Amino acid sequence: MRSIYVDLTRCLGCRACEVACGRIHGKSRISVAILRDRISMPLACRQCQRATCAMVCPTEALVQEGEGITFFPERCNGCGLCLLACPFGLVNLWAGKAERCDHCMEKSPACVATCPSGALAFGEEMAFAKAARTRAVLRASRAIEGVRR
């Protein structure tokens, strides 16, 4: 499943992703919060493979199609059931329509293109996990090298 993934060890908490997302969609669909003065954490739609938002939608505006979720704004009546059905609270209502991250409709997502620290990536989960692990190992080996010298 192609999605937006976050490497929390890289996020600076600069909120550039929020600005970029807001510029494209009017209102940002990604939000960054700082936890206990230490960890900055961006959060956006998880693109669930069994999406509760789509299960409860009365007008089939949110539809599960294969592994992804498709949104038909003209069918949305703004009832707000999807935002109450999201386990992570990541659907919003804006101007009478449901709003959630659709990774800029499969084009290169604006938040990923903007992120200055490379904390956000768009692609397959396995590729992202592999890259994050490689970086973690390189970081650890650099630290060990430093101790040896």
Partner 1 sequence: MRSLFVDEKRCIGCLACKESCPEGKIHIKDDDVREIIFPSTCGNDCAICEEACPEKAISLGDEKPREPEITLRFHLIPCEDCLRGFITEPMLERLEARIPRDLQIDSNGLSWLRFCPRCRRALERERMAASLLWE
- Positions touching partner 1 (CB under 8 A) are 8-9, 31, 33, 35-36, 38-39, 41, 43, 50, 52, 55-56, 58-59, 77-81, 83-91, 93, 96
* Smallest gap from residue 49 Cβ to partner 1 (A): 11
How many CB atoms neighbour CB 103 within 10 A?
20
Asked whether the beta carbons of 88 and 46 are under 8 A apart, the reply is: yes
Please give the span between the terminal C-alpha atoms of the chain, in angstroms, as a whole number: 43
* Smallest gap from residue 25 Cβ to partner 1 (A): 18
Question: What region does 115 belong to: left with phi over 0, alpha with psi -120 to 50, or beta?
Answer: beta
Q: Is the dihedral of CA 7, 43, 50, 98 positive or negative?
A: negative
CB closer to partner 1 out of 107 and 137: 137
CB closer to partner 1 out of 38 and 149: 38
* Smallest gap from residue 59 Cβ to partner 1 (A): 7
The structure tokens listed for 28 are 């940002």
CB closer to partner 1 out of 87 and 116: 87
Strand 62-65 with 68-71, pairing: antiparallel
CB closer to partner 1 out of 55 and 140: 55
* Smallest gap from residue 147 Cβ to partner 1 (A): 20
CB closer to partner 1 out of 87 and 108: 87
How many CB atoms neighbour CB 4 within 10 A?
23
* Smallest gap from residue 148 Cβ to partner 1 (A): 25
